[in-house]
Structure 1
């Protein structure tokens, strides 16, 4: 059984960090120890038995901190259970269908042994950083599109995989 899980994330406006906290909350509820850290502040993955990496999607790319994290620790990650999640669609599409990983995330998945990837809706609200974010908000396309139930279901599946209760496939 896996005991300690790192949930690392890259975010600009905090939505992905909140999803990472929600993932860790489910893992803890299922009896695992979970630590949540910004990907840029992680100094190594060897203290962990498994890793979940999340990144916000910006203009079709995974957050830079998440990409760099995976590249930096690729060799260490190759020997442990690994999951990815993305957050970003600013509509209900992530709740309505399975959205495949963007090409950059797909390449990272091909270079590592990722168990599963999920895409969750994002959040973009007033006060968001960045020119593009402000343009999106001015066009009226902001809002909170995160599906808490989908995040919890996916996180519970990760926990089942790690505890041996659900070996054989992700939700």
Structure 2
């Protein structure tokens, strides 16, 4: 039995959307029914068993659409499997985990989900938006630092976790099923 999974994202320059698409593709390959959509476009999550939400992170802040999504659906998310990620670091700290912004951390705690996983981002002159991003994209910070193998491995972990939950749901009284 496959799970119905929503992979939602809030992206500024397209990098987080591309990461969400890659996660969706991995989950589809694992046999799940996956929808990948911009968080701003989602009105209801009632038809989904699990949700993966990603946001670009700039100056230790999530995109407003991702925070609104969490706030709007906090009660429903408590009843689902939820995974969070953020992307954005480039340059020397590209491989360092970023802490969740306080608002996001409080919402994640209410939902009962783990802290967000950090993925390095992309900063290129062609997609840079905003004065600072355009300036940085002309210098040493310009790069596509995303680690596609790390992203695929994380999506595979989600697929494994959903399969384990599926077994537990099918055999709630059978301890041998675990």
The offset of 1:101, in angstroms, is: 2.9
Where does residue 172 of structure 2 map in the other structure?
none
The aligned counterpart of 1:120 is 119
Q: How many residues are aligned here?
A: 166
Structure 2: gaps spanning 5 or more residues: 168-178
User: Does the 8 A contact of 1:2 with 1:49 survive in 2?
Assistant: no
* Superposed displacement of residue 72, structure 1: 0.7
TM-score (norm 1): 0.88
* Native 8 Å contact 2:27 2:34 kept in 1: yes
What SS does the aligned partner of 1:53 have?
strand
> Does the CA contact (< 8 Å) of 1:121 and 1:145 recur in 2?
yes
Q: Which residue of 2 aligns with 1:103?
A: 102
Counterpart-to-counterpart distance in 2, 1:133 and 1:117: 23
1:50 aligns with 2:50: yes
TM-score by length of 2: 0.85
* Separation of aligned partners in 2, 1:119 and 1:166: 27
Q: Hey, what's the Cα distance between the residues in 2 that align with 1:164 and 1:92?
A: 37
CA shift in 2, pair 1:63/1:30, >3 Å: same
* Structure 1: runs of 5 or more not aligned: none
Alpha-carbon distance change, 130 to 24 in structure 1, aligned in 2, over 3 angstroms: same
Write 1 or 2 for the structure with the bigger share of helix.
Answer: 2
Q: For 2:160, what is the secondary structure of its paired residue?
A: helix
1:40-75 CA distance string (max 9 Å, x none): 000100010100000000111011111111111111
Residue 8 of structure 2 is matched in structure 1 by 8
What is the RMSD of the two structures over their aligned residues, measured on CA atoms?
A: 2.1
Note the C-alpha offset of 1:77.
0.7
CA shift at 1:91, angstroms? 2.8
Larger Rg, first or second structure (1 or 2): 2
Take 1:2 and 1:94, find their aligned partners in 2: how far apart are those partners? 34
